Amino acid sequence: MIIRHDALGMTRPIQAIIHTDALRHNLMVARRHAPHSKILAVIKANGYGHGMLRVAQALKDADGFGVLSLAEAVTLREAGFQQTLLALEGLFEADELPLAARHHISVVVHSEPQLRMLEVAHDLPPLDVFLKINTGMNRLGVADKDFPNFYERLRICKAVNAITLMTHFATADEAPGIADQLTLFKQLTDGISAPRTLANSAAILRYPKTCVDWVRPGIMLYGATPFTRESAAQHDLQPAMTFQSEVIAVQTLQAGDGIGYGRCFIAEKPMRVGTVACGYADGYPRHAPTGTPIAVAGKMTRTLGRVSMDMLGVDISDIPEAAIGSPVELWGKQVPVDAVAQMCGTIGYELLCAVAARVPFKEHG
């Protein structure tokens, strides 16, 4: 039995176990695919829901870390991490510049206002910048026609130290691939001697030629897949999170009985149903339909009916040993988070990021 007292003094049998050995293994897989690149481990969104500092500690051999905000980068610096720390969207306000400079935080520069901030700054120790070029993702980045001028202005800017050239792929994980974006990036940057960074997890796994000076793995480090049709296991990735709970009640149903709100599942024959202490307020997706994979007492089965706020139903008709107190894996080593996500019409990324703050976390490995 798992008994944990969380901050609220509750003893619900739910927790997320973070496998630090899996994180380290997955970093090694990234290195195997990109043996000549430095690795910027992406730990935004609280380390994809695994805990930013916990992940950074497990991946302390990474050459750098990518985060969202300056505040996160400063937290890492203050925790003693000495490697490159990159704010992936750059700074939002000019008054963040001195703090970034003082802590040697690298910043993405993707827009004219961010460039202006640097141009008008004075008495600032120069910053390392990652110049982001829009090669077709159309989210962040300098337009191709503006790039030469933008690069030149950065190059002569007194507030700028090293410049790394960066782009991000829109379809590294699916059919169109990266060819157009890679060609444009090469055309634009040809002849410029500066380090480059292109690849996210999908590109690292699929397009070795995109593994240049730096690579930026995210999801693969957590042992989930960036692809729809290839599993994490196929790429030798190990799940870094086990989201687990227990059966807290067992119901016996006759044919015609319904389960949960709306009775959207009706038993066609006599069944045994387990009630699990995990609901959408824990971060389990409410839109998980009947049939979503889940494991009870080490056996694969399926969810039944609507997910409630704090509970969900599972089919234990074929698991006679299942009883109150039986362990349940929502996702982890046995139930790939990607399989749950696929049933919910989403991706593993979203589920991992959404585990609720009320769930106690524990490290293992």
Closest approach of ligand PLP to the CB of residue 256, in Å: 46
| Residues 6+ positions from 303 with CB-CB distance below 8 Å | 288, 289, 290, 291, 292, 294, 312, 313, 314, 315
Distance in Å, CB of 18 to ligand PLP, minimum: 17
| Sequence-distant (≥ 6) Cβ neighbours of residue 308 within 8 angstroms | 260, 261, 279, 280
Site string for ligand PLP, 61-90 (x = CB under 6 A): ---------------------------x--
Pairwise CA distance, residues 128 & 114, whole Å: 13
Least Å from the CB of residue 166 to ligand PLP: 7
Q: Is 135 in the site for ligand PLP (CB under 6 A)?
A: no
CB closer to ligand PLP, 12 vs 44: 44
Single out the segment in contact with ligand PLP by CB under 6 A; choices: 8-16, 74-82, 196-204, 317-325. Answer: 196-204
Which candidate in 186, 209, 261, 362 is catalytic?
261
Contact stretch for ligand PLP (CB under 6 A) within 150-158, 214-222, 263-271, 308-316: 214-222
Output the residue with the shortest Cβ distance to ligand PLP.
218
What is the spatial distance between Cα 187 and Cα 165, in angstroms, rounded to a whole number? 13
- Measured CA to CA, the distance from residue 260 to residue 150 in angstroms comes to 58
According to DSSP H, which parts of 232-331 are helical?
A: none
Q: 216: closest CA among 110, 59, 22, 78?
A: 59
Q: Is 60 a catalytic residue?
A: no
Q: Which is nearer to ligand PLP, 217 or 293 (CB)?
A: 217
Task: Choose the stretch contacting ligand PLP; rule: CB under 6 A; options: 11-19, 115-123, 197-205, 257-265.
Answer: 197-205
Amino acid at 201: S
Q: Which of 217, 279, 313, 332 contacts ligand PLP by CB under 6 A?
A: 217
Does 141 bind ligand PLP (CB under 6 A)? Our answer is no
How many CB atoms neighbour CB 163 within 10 A? Answer: 18
Q: Which of 49, 51, 136, 226 binds ligand PLP (CB under 6 A)?
A: 226
For 214, counting Cβ atoms within 10 Å of its Cβ (0-12 exposed, 13-18 middle, 19+ buried), the class is: buried
Residues 43-62 that bind ligand PLP (CB under 6 A): 44
| 279 lies in the site for ligand PLP, by CB under 6 A | no
Coil, helix or strand at residue 4: coil
* Least CB distance to ligand PLP at residue 59 (A): 13
**DSSP secondary structure string for all residues of 274-298:** EEES--GGGT--TTPPTT-EEEETT
Q: Compare residues 218 and 332 and give the one whose CB is closer to ligand PLP.
A: 218
Q: Does 218 bind ligand PLP (CB under 6 A)?
A: yes
Give backbone dihedrals phi and psi of 53, rounded to 5 degrees, phi first. -70, -35
Provide CB contacts within 8 A for 183, sequence distance 6+: none
Active site residue 145: no
Tokens of 175: 């059919």
If one asks whether residue 201 binds ligand PLP (CB under 6 A), the answer comes out as: yes
168 binds ligand PLP (CB under 6 A): yes
Instruction: Say which of 38, 44, 145, 207 is annotated catalytic.
Output: 44
Site for ligand PLP in 10-49 (CB under 6 A): 42, 44
Other beta carbons within 10 angstroms of residue 102's beta carbon come to: 12
- Which residues are known to be catalytic? 44, 261
Site residues (vs ligand PLP, CB under 6 A)? 42, 44, 88, 168, 200-202, 216-219, 226
